[in-house]
Structure 1
């Protein structure tokens, strides 16, 4: 798989609890891909894209590292991205 829907990836990466919440975030203009605001939950993202998400009182910046066929636990979700705000030391 070389691309995945933005809302599906946000859900699989456990950024939100439900896919409908991911779609609402995107449609509400709260998600940027490579600096450009996205309004389509079906926008295709690829490995290497930088996703910026405005959540309640925080901003998350993540680099897409991979995709998943299913939503897994937090450990499996963690390998889908690199956190650019808190890089490993």
Structure 2
């Protein structure tokens, strides 16, 4: 069986979908093309922008903005635990966004 070689960079829409930050790849493409995502502080407006290990993404998720660092590039859209192991949250949000939203309701 052939061994899978890790890639140096992936399209942003594939990364968002592989990391389970969007439900579908077309939704990931749409999110990338709206111009609300920043890659290392630079605004992204195309789904074909390349993401590499060590890049920092700032993206709107639900009613919040999340900042993540790509630790490793995913090879596939696997289980949630596998996806979460590929990035690190930098903005200090709780790991459960629903619980975080409920904490802010008074």
Which residue number in structure 2 is paired with residue 83 of structure 1? 89
Q: Is 1:42 the counterpart of 2:44 in the alignment? A: no
Q: TM-score w.r.t. structure 1 length?
A: 0.91
Q: What does residue 65 of structure 2 align with?
A: 59
Q: CA deviation at 1:8?
A: 0.3
CA distance in 1, matches of 2:61, 2:71: 21
Is residue 70 from structure 1 mapped to residue 85 from structure 2 by the alignment?
no
Calculate the aligned-residue CA RMSD, in Å.
1.2
Which sections of structure 2, spanning at least 5 residues, go unmatched? 1-6, 94-106
**Larger RCO (CA within 8 A; separation ≥ 6):** 1
Counterpart selection for 2:29 from 23, 37, 41: 23
Unpaired segments ≥5 residues, structure 1: none
Moved over 3 A (4+): none
| TM-score, length-scaled by structure 2 | 0.77
